[in-house]
Amino acid sequence: MGQRICMPQLSCHSPLGALTISEDDGRIVALDWGWGRDQEETPLLVKVRDLLEKYFDGERVDFRGLPFSPYGTPYRQKIWKAILDIPYGETRTYAEIAAQAGGSARSIGGAMGANPIPVLIPCHRVVGATGLGGYSGLNGVEDKKILLDLEKGD
């Protein structure tokens, strides 16, 4: 048998548009905007898709129990782990995350922009001291507003 070249992916519809979840070696490694070319229903990807559908239907979903393996530096891994602990419907500022995990508000922003698993690792819950800050989603801050409003129940 040949070696698997591509990792399993599964797509779903959302208020943000199509999203594609990628798995590698039994762990979630990415969530991207757009519909993936190849679709493979592994048990993990089906579970994540079902959780995302519940989340977008307005249910309080906790993604912390999922097996994540985002590619990134040890520092960014530490930041992403910290934001996983921000409860549903709550936000923290870049400065608060910097105080908790180390670094500066600017370095936290860099880690948020590089988050390969947005929504599931909820970087949308990290906001500026005087505004929303940026967002790496396809539609930028508009996607961040949609997610925050969804969690507020608006």
Separation CA 109–CA 129 (nearest Å): 12
DSSP-derived secondary structure for 33-66: ES--SS----HHHHHHHHHHHHHHTT-----TTS
Instruction: State pTM to two decimals.
Output: 0.91
Give me the mean pLDDT over the 113-121 stretch: 95
Q: What is the pLDDT of residues 18-35, one digit of tens each?
A: 999 999 999 999 999 999
What letter would DSSP give residue 48?
A: H
Query: Catalytic residues, which ones?
Result: 123
Paired tokens of 76: 């960014």
Provide the 3-class DSSP secondary structure of residue 56: helix
Average pLDDT of every residue of the chain: 92
User: Residue type at 81?
Assistant: K
Query: 60 with 51: CB under 8 angstroms?
Result: no
